[in-house]
Amino acid sequence: MFDYLIVGAGFAGAVMAERLANGSGKKVLICDRRPHIAGNAYDHYNDDGILVHKYGPHIFHTNAKDVFDYLSRFTEWREYEHRVLASVDGMLVPIPINLDTINRLYGLNLDSMSIQEFFDSIREPRENIRTSEDVVISSVGRELYEKFFRGYTRKQWGLDPSKLDASVTARVPTRTNRDDRYFTDTYQAMPRHGYTRMFEKMLDNPNIKVLLNCDYREIESEIPYREMVYTGPVDAYFDYRYGELPYRSLEFRHETLDGEVFQPAPVVNFPNEQPYTRVNEFKYLTGQTHAKTSVVYEYPQAEGDPYYPIPMPENAALYAKYKALADAAEGVHFIGRLATYKYYNMDQVVAQALTTYAKIVGENRKTAAILAAKPGYSYANGNGSGATRGLN
């Protein structure tokens, strides 16, 4: 008898498996319908021996020290700060838009003071910032919105930015300085030996059994278990009772090219001219040296594996109905990007899983996460049923 059947071996499922097994001595079966662990963060060495991310570039960044400390138990890190260029008006310029972007695009010589005046002269203030269009137009005006955001967003989501929640384009700030990093989080790093290696370490416990190429529906009535952790799409779990929740998909076209370097930045975004949104060159992320280089082109599409929940009011309303079913489902915990229909980054999914685990064992999240970062601690068999007992 398993204590837990965990559906999905991505971040949400793997953190839960690790905590339940190492933290509470539970017996866990984790299954995934894909032929590998690590979910969308899966990486592997391709035929040419280059480490690539099968489902697009994954860059770890967080402000949550407890999340970083927790994952540090399973990997060493390679310091890495992500940078992106956008192809606009025949130039490659930094995105997020910063001082250099504006100076190069318009042949100006602004400084940090005068650029704010420049933005103030072109921005169209809006009283309510409700949509992804409002966010950008109210900070940098219509022209820059059209150059950098409108085309990219229409391609990526199949929707005009005016239909999407503000939170989508708000992920990309505007800067008045020369900082050209994509993220400004305190912790920015890549797992030194890759994500899949990190997941292998998380799942390395005799109390965790991993079953791949397996949809949970094939085994749920055959294999006895007490509770379930579900990390797949929430609408699928309930057999689409209220209709399908929209998810956006991508086609990833991988290529390996002769020559050590292909492009001048880890990622180049193509807001306008191309059918793809961005091109990612993996060696920048991994630091690998190799005579060849591997890239992936991202082509957005409606059909295919669900990668992105689509943040807009209609979808939030439909998700609320599924959430009510999920909240009422006894003995099933719904976590992760697909099961809670949230446009979450990896660190947010880890935090959500740690919080759910903390609830299950009756701890608060910060305490549970701090304890989780200490390998010797266990809630199991009376070895620490309180906040401090068993800590070593």
- The CA distances from residue 344 to 5, 52, 67, 73, 190, in Å, are 23, 22, 14, 22, 18
Residue 138 or 348 having the CB closest to ligand FAD: 348
Near ligand FAD by CB under 6 A: residue from 19, 26, 34, 150: 34
Near ligand FAD by CB under 6 A: residue from 16, 31, 228, 369: 31
Residue 157 touching ligand FAD (CB under 6 A): no
Near ligand UDP by CB under 6 A: residue from 87, 139, 153, 174: 153
d(CA 349, CA 362): 20
Residue 140 touching ligand UDP (CB under 6 A): no
Near ligand FAD by CB under 6 A: residue from 30, 41, 64, 115: 41
Residue 156 touching ligand UDP (CB under 6 A): yes
Query: Cα angle at 39 between 38 and 42, to 5 degrees?
Result: 55
Residue 148 or 341 having the CB closest to ligand FAD: 341
Residue 231 touching ligand FAD (CB under 6 A): yes
Residue 139, SS3?
Answer: helix
d(CA 169, CA 140): 12
d(CA 278, CA 298): 6
d(CA 376, CA 390): 8
Q: How far is the CB of 304 from ligand UDP (least distance, A)?
A: 15
At 92, which helix (H) or strand (E)? strand 91-95
Site for ligand UDP in 171-190 (CB under 6 A): 171-172
DSSP letter string, 160-229: -GGGSBHHHHTTS---SS---BS---SEEEEETT-HHHHHHHHT-STTEEEE-S--GGGTTTTS-EEEEE
Cα dihedral 167, 168, 172, 174 sign: negative
Residue 137 or 369 having the CB closest to ligand FAD: 369
Residue 335, SS3?
Answer: coil
Q: Which does 152 bind (CB under 5 to 8 A by kind): ligand FAD, ligand UDP, none?
A: ligand UDP
Near ligand UDP by CB under 6 A: residue from 118, 152, 237, 319: 152
250: β partners: 300
Near ligand UDP by CB under 6 A: residue from 118, 119, 148, 199: 148
**Helices first, then strands: H and E counts in the chain:** 14, 17
Near ligand UDP by CB under 6 A: residue from 87, 131, 169, 286: 169
Q: Which does 105 bind (CB under 5 to 8 A by kind): ligand FAD, ligand UDP, none?
A: none
181: β partners: 83
Q: Which does 153 bind (CB under 5 to 8 A by kind): ligand FAD, ligand UDP, none?
A: ligand UDP
Site for ligand FAD in 318-337 (CB under 6 A): 336-337
Peptide bond before residue 96 is cis, with ω within 30 degrees of 0: yes
Q: Which does 25 bind (CB under 5 to 8 A by kind): ligand FAD, ligand UDP, none?
A: none
Residue 8 touching ligand FAD (CB under 6 A): yes
Return the percent helix, strand and coil in the chain, to nearest 5: 35, 20, 45
Residues found near ligand FAD in the complex (CB under 6 A):
7-13, 31-34, 39-41, 55-59, 215-216, 231-232, 250, 307, 336-338, 344-347, 349
Which parts of this chain interact with ligand UDP (CB under 6 A)?
86, 95, 148-149, 152-153, 156, 168-169, 171-172, 269, 271
